[in-house]
A and B are shown apart, each in its own frame.
Chain A
Amino acid sequence: AQSVTQLDSQVPVFEEAPVELRCNYSSSVSVYLFWYVQYPNQGLQLLLKYLSGSTLVKGINGFEAEFNKSQTSFHLRKPSVHISDTAEYFCAVSDLTGGFKTIFGAGTRLFVKA
């Protein structure tokens, strides 16, 4: 069975600073990886996903993530954050065995300060 660990529950950062949100996973088989964002009082929406191919994945709103198989990580980065990026970010993993479940991490709250 797979699992996801988001290493930081909260990340405060100043506006226009870079940010990295960390995600590690464990699985005995190959995986698909996702990052979702949840703005206050809203549902989750997909930021980006890694299925195969290039390990650097670009998503919406200037975010990108890098899949590192040897370190079993999928960290999310943005070079310069805006106030509007304040939200909860969820890393998720599902495996390639044909199972239907996507497992979500506990979330990281990104708080962008002026």
Chain B
Amino acid sequence: DTAVSQTPKYLVTQMGNDKSIKCEQNLGHDTMYWYKQDSKKFLKIMFSYNNKELIINETVPNRFSPKSPDKAHLNLHINSLELGDSAVYFCASSQGPRSNTEAFFGQGTRLTVV
């Protein structure tokens, strides 16, 4: 049973399109995250939710909108995709938002914008 699962694994789309990435965790965790990993492997946090409430919202274009329908799910919707959005997007979860907790990562979604 996969602990943190993301769909799709690969996503190729044209500039200007709108796309969504879904994430689900079955660990019973309260906190979920979206990270972006660029081509140089640099990993940067985008958003975090704790019990469906947004607690971290980094400097991310407002074309990116997270949605957490319940604490086991955190989806990422991206409007008007741009070439620079090409990256691997990782969903993660942790028991709580405290800084001493370990994060469990999904396998990533490789987004390619052409």
Contacts and interface: CB of A to CB of B under 8 A. Distances in A.
Q: Real complex partners, A and B?
A: yes
Interface of A: 32, 34, 38, 41-46, 49, 51, 88, 90, 94-96, 98-102, 104, 106-107, 109
Interface string B39-56: 011111100101000011
28 contacts: A41-B107, A43-B4, A43-B90, A43-B105, A43-B107, A44-B90, A44-B103, A45-B105, A49-B100, A90-B43, A94-B99, A96-B99, A96-B100, A98-B98, A100-B55, A100-B56, A100-B98, A101-B45, A101-B48, A101-B56, A102-B99, A102-B103, A104-B42, A106-B40, A106-B41, A106-B42, A107-B41, A107-B42
Given A49-B102, A101-B48, 4 more contacts: A102-B45, A102-B99, A104-B42, A106-B41
B105 A94 contact: no
Nearest to A107: B41
B66 interface: no
A44 B4 CA distance: 11
Interface in B22-79: 31, 40-45, 48, 50, 55-56
Contacts, number: 62
A42 B106 CA distance: 8
Interface residues of B, number: 25
Interface string B1-18: 000100000000000000
